[in-house]
């Protein structure tokens, strides 16, 4: 029987300072018994000779310095995992919240995970179809990649996250060979989604639950929902619980898992709050100096391992305070991850969904998931051509505001028309619209008919002949 300490001498928010302790280790799980007999879980945040700082996973209300007992359990926070987790909804501490039975675990895993040896990592190179044109064509998601979404307050990142979670899938080899993509989720491989929401409102939590349930996507998903009224310490554990479930499904059950985590800004705010309670020296904008290291412990749990069939692809979502991309959270996230998908407020104000801006977005690994045998031979060239043409069209649009459209050349007018159609037909799609990569490429080729052939410098001539629909001569733009 472990020793119960009654030596709590200070309480600061969710933190308890326990003195005169022996043999206590960092990250060790503990049980806190309050004066009314109720018990709550916590973990050791700091341990030194004769003193332990304990963080409660639940509300600290009712905890007093006199009468509160702390018992250290000699183990870390563990999650009981099983394949039966698929189709279930859990709260931020890993307890079922869907009125279903408790999970009978096949094993229990430390939620902090195990470091992956860099030499054992396999390079991400397989395409994941999200059904969203601006991601699939221009910012291709690669199996095993970590690709964050940079959003802002009021932008529809929750809807985008739900759409990706519903639609994300791996193409079957037969689909790639035939150049046709179906709308269902039947593939050659096992595919699953692990979704974690931190610090969301009750309405947002209900939205995510309803989206998964009404579309049938819940059957291949595991949800962890932490709402804003839950203890702040629980917010720190939520993404680790989700990643632990993902690691079990990927590396032990051979699933290809896409992990979507929203909102990383709420997670970092929780870190800052706990850091302030510990009276640590603050770093940039009050965030703890170890913010980079802490974020890396989450993001680096994505990837593929040699000899393992499964993989973990991670899509963390964060809202940039004041739309500031230099804020510590997006800034550090950008250093650790492999690009970003950027949501644009200007596109959102035009009622364009999803408002993904091509010029501010980047997937650094997309070249490995574009081309013949993976998607289609024209994918890479189409990506470059569409991005360049839209950037030119945006410049022409600004020029037309100053000089007037009548002063533009015929080629500039063609780019202006292309940019307008690109926003209305390529970027814009409904929340329930699921386009295959081949549908998206076809839309792109149709848009390129607005430009003179001499301007199509990033796609191969034989691909133009093969994929572009011929346009009537009378409608052909005249080159300047």
The answer to whether residue 64 scores a pLDDT higher than 80 is yes
Mean pLDDT value across the chain: 89
Apex 18 CA angle, 16 and 22, nearest 5: 140
Q: Which CATH architecture has domain 4-76?
A: Beta Barrel (2.40)
What is the distance in angstroms between the CA of the first residue and the CA of the last residue of the chain? 86
Element at 126 (helix H, strand E) = none
CB proximity list for 225: less than 8 A, separation 6 or greater: 89, 90, 91, 92, 97, 196, 197, 200, 205, 208, 209
Q: Which CATH number is 79-369's, of 3.30.1330.20, 3.40.50.12240, 3.40.50.970, 3.10.450.50?
A: 3.40.50.12240
DSSP 346-367: HHHHTT-SS-B-GGG-EETTGG
The answer to whether residue 195 scores a pLDDT higher than 50 is yes
How much of the chain exceeds pLDDT 70, in percent? 95
Tens of pLDDT, residues 352-377: 999 999 998 999 999 989 998 889 99
Cβ count within 10 A of residue 409: 12
Tens of pLDDT, residues 139-192: 999 999 999 999 999 999 989 988 998 898 888 777 777 676 554 544 546 889
Beta strands in 239-322 (DSSP E): 256-262, 303-305, 311-319
Say if CB 129 and CB 276 are below 8 A apart.
no
Q: What is the pLDDT of residue 225?
A: 94
Tens of pLDDT, residues 196-255: 999 999 999 999 999 898 888 899 999 999 999 888 888 999 999 999 999 999 999 999
How far is Cα of residue 152 from the mean position of the Cα atoms in its chain? 15
In the DSSP assignment, the letter for residue 422 is I
All structural domains of the chain with their residue ranges: 4-76, 79-369, 379-475
The answer to whether residue 432 scores a pLDDT higher than 80 is yes
The answer to whether residue 479 scores a pLDDT higher than 70 is no
Does 79-369 match 4-76 at the fold level? Answer: no
Q: What is the pLDDT of residue 186?
A: 47
């Amino acid at each position: 029987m472990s020793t119960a300490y009654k030596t709590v001498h200070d309480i600061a928010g969710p933190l308890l300072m326990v003195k005169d302790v022996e043999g206590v280790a960092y990250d060790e799980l503990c049980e806190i018994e309050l004066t009314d007999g109720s018990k709550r879980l916590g973990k050791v945040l700091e341990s030194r000779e004769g003193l332990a700082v304990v963080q409660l996973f639940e509300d600290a209300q009712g905890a007093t310095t006199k009468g509160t007992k702390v018992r250290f359990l000699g183990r870390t926070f563990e999650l009981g995992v099983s394949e039966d987790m698929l189709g279930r909804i859990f709260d931020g501490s890993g307890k079922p919240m869907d009125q279903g039975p408790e999970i009978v675990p096949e094993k229990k895993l430390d939620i902090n995970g195990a470091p992956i040896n860099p030499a054992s990592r396999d390079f991400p190179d397989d395409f994941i179809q999200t059904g969203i044109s601006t991601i699939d064509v221009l910012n291709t998601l690669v199996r095993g990649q970590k690709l964050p979404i940079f959003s802002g307050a009021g932008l529809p990142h929750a809807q985008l996250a739900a759409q990706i979670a519903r639609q994300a899938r791996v193409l079957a080899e037969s689909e790639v060979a035939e150049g046709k993509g179906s709308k269902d989720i039947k593939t050659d491989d096992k595919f699953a989604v692990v979704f974690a929401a931190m610090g969301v409102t009750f309405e947002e939590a209900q939205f995510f639950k309803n989206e998964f349930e009404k579309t049938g996507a819940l059957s291949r998903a595991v949800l962890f929902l932490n709402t804003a009224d839950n203890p702040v310490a629980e917010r720190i554990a939520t993404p680790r619980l989700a990643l632990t479930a993902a690691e079990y499904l990927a590396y032990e059950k051979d699933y290809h898992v896409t992990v979507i985590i929203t909102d990383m800004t709420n997670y970092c705010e929780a870190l800052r709050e706990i850091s302030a309670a510990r009276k640590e020296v603050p770093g940039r904008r009050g965030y703890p100096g170890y913010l980079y290291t802490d974020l890396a412990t989450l993001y680096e749990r994505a990837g593929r391992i040699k000899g393992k069939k499964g993989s973990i692809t991670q899509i963390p979502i964060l809202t940039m305070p004041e739309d500031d991309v230099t804020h510590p959270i997006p800034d550090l996230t950008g250093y650790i991850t492999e690009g970003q998908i950027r949501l644009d407020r200007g596109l959102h104000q035009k009622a364009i969904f999803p408002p993904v801006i091509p010029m501010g977005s980047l997937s650094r690994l997309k070249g490995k998931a574009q081309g013949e045998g993976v998607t289609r031979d024209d994918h890479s060239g189409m990506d470059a051509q569409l991005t360049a043409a839209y950037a030119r069209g945006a410049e022409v649009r600004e020029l037309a505001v100053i000089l007037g459209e009548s002063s533009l050349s015929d080629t500039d007018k063609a780019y202006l028309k292309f940019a307008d159609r690109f926003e209305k037909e390529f970027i814009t799609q409904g929340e329930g619209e699921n386009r295959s990569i081949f549908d998206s490429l076809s839309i792109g080729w149709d848009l390129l008919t607005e430009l003179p052939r001499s301007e199509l410098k990033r796609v191969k001539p034989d691909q133009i002949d093969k994929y572009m629909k011929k346009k009537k001569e009378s409608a052909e733009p005249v080159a300047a």
